[in-house]
Amino acid sequence: MQMPMIDDARYTYAVVWPRAKKSVELQSLAERLDTLQGKTVAHVWDYMIRGDEIFPILQQGLSERYPGIKFVNYETFGSTHGDQEHAVLAGMPEKLRRFGVGAVISGMAC
Protein backbone atom coordinates (compact mmCIF):
# COMPACT_ATOMS: atom_id res chain seq x y z
CA MET A 1 0.00 0.00 0.00
CA GLN A 2 1.31 3.44 -0.89
CA MET A 3 1.50 6.06 1.86
CA PRO A 4 -0.21 9.37 1.13
CA MET A 5 1.99 12.47 0.79
CA ILE A 6 1.50 15.13 3.47
CA ASP A 7 2.21 18.68 2.41
CA ASP A 8 1.26 20.69 5.47
CA ALA A 9 3.44 23.23 7.34
CA ARG A 10 1.71 22.30 10.62
CA TYR A 11 3.66 19.06 10.84
CA THR A 12 7.19 18.91 12.22
CA TYR A 13 9.31 15.84 11.68
CA ALA A 14 12.43 14.88 13.58
CA VAL A 15 15.35 14.12 11.32
CA VAL A 16 17.53 11.23 12.32
CA TRP A 17 21.10 10.93 11.07
CA PRO A 18 21.97 7.27 10.41
CA ARG A 19 25.52 7.59 11.77
CA ALA A 20 26.40 7.69 15.44
CA LYS A 21 28.10 10.62 17.11
CA LYS A 22 31.89 10.61 16.83
CA SER A 23 33.47 8.85 19.77
CA VAL A 24 37.09 9.40 18.73
CA GLU A 25 38.61 12.49 17.20
CA LEU A 26 40.50 12.09 13.95
CA GLN A 27 44.25 11.82 14.31
CA SER A 28 47.09 12.26 11.88
CA LEU A 29 48.24 9.13 10.12
CA ALA A 30 51.58 7.63 11.06
CA GLU A 31 54.47 8.68 8.87
CA ARG A 32 54.85 6.28 5.96
CA LEU A 33 58.10 4.47 5.20
CA ASP A 34 59.85 5.35 1.95
CA THR A 35 60.99 1.74 1.55
CA LEU A 36 60.95 -1.58 3.37
CA GLN A 37 64.60 -2.20 2.49
CA GLY A 38 66.49 -2.96 5.70
CA LYS A 39 63.34 -2.58 7.82
CA THR A 40 61.82 -5.01 10.30
CA VAL A 41 58.25 -6.04 9.52
CA ALA A 42 55.95 -7.77 12.01
CA HIS A 43 53.37 -10.33 11.00
CA VAL A 44 50.32 -10.00 13.27
CA TRP A 45 47.53 -12.54 12.92
CA ASP A 46 44.20 -13.46 14.47
CA TYR A 47 44.90 -17.19 13.92
CA MET A 48 41.69 -17.56 11.95
CA ILE A 49 42.10 -17.97 8.20
CA ARG A 50 45.24 -19.12 6.35
CA GLY A 51 47.76 -16.71 7.84
CA ASP A 52 50.14 -19.63 8.27
CA GLU A 53 49.98 -20.04 4.48
CA ILE A 54 49.83 -16.38 3.43
CA PHE A 55 52.60 -14.86 5.58
CA PRO A 56 55.37 -17.09 4.15
CA ILE A 57 54.29 -16.10 0.63
CA LEU A 58 54.31 -12.41 1.55
CA GLN A 59 57.66 -12.80 3.27
CA GLN A 60 59.24 -14.45 0.24
CA GLY A 61 57.94 -11.80 -2.17
CA LEU A 62 58.94 -8.89 0.06
CA SER A 63 62.40 -10.40 0.67
CA GLU A 64 62.98 -10.57 -3.08
CA ARG A 65 61.87 -6.97 -3.55
CA TYR A 66 63.50 -5.34 -0.49
CA PRO A 67 67.04 -6.51 0.33
CA GLY A 68 67.83 -6.68 4.04
CA ILE A 69 64.20 -6.79 5.16
CA LYS A 70 63.65 -8.73 8.41
CA PHE A 71 60.48 -10.25 9.83
CA VAL A 72 59.05 -10.92 13.27
CA ASN A 73 56.76 -13.94 13.15
CA TYR A 74 53.13 -13.75 14.32
CA GLU A 75 53.87 -16.38 17.00
CA THR A 76 55.93 -13.70 18.79
CA PHE A 77 52.78 -11.67 19.44
CA GLY A 78 50.01 -14.23 19.91
CA SER A 79 46.50 -14.21 18.48
CA THR A 80 44.74 -10.88 18.06
CA HIS A 81 41.41 -12.68 18.36
CA GLY A 82 39.88 -14.62 21.22
CA ASP A 83 40.10 -14.71 24.97
CA GLN A 84 43.67 -13.34 25.09
CA GLU A 85 43.27 -10.57 22.49
CA HIS A 86 43.15 -7.74 25.04
CA ALA A 87 46.42 -8.85 26.65
CA VAL A 88 48.02 -9.43 23.24
CA LEU A 89 47.05 -5.96 22.02
CA ALA A 90 48.06 -4.31 25.30
CA GLY A 91 51.53 -5.84 24.99
CA MET A 92 51.90 -5.04 21.30
CA PRO A 93 53.55 -1.58 21.55
CA GLU A 94 56.31 -2.84 23.86
CA LYS A 95 57.03 -5.85 21.65
CA LEU A 96 57.07 -3.71 18.50
CA ARG A 97 59.63 -1.40 20.14
CA ARG A 98 61.70 -4.31 21.51
CA PHE A 99 62.03 -5.89 18.07
CA GLY A 100 62.59 -2.58 16.26
CA VAL A 101 59.51 -3.04 14.07
CA GLY A 102 59.00 -0.35 11.45
CA ALA A 103 55.90 -1.81 9.76
CA VAL A 104 53.14 -4.31 10.52
CA ILE A 105 51.20 -6.63 8.25
CA SER A 106 48.05 -7.59 10.10
CA GLY A 107 45.60 -10.18 8.88
CA MET A 108 43.82 -12.35 7.79
CA ALA A 109 40.16 -13.10 8.55
CA CYS A 110 37.54 -12.03 6.04
Residues 49-86 have pLDDT tens digits of 888 999 999 999 999 999 999 999 999 999 999 899 99
Report pLDDT digits (tens) over 86-104. 999 999 999 999 999 999 9
pTM assigned to the model: 0.72
Q: Which residues pair with 44 in a beta bridge?
A: 106
Pairwise CA distance, residues 20 & 66, whole Å: 42
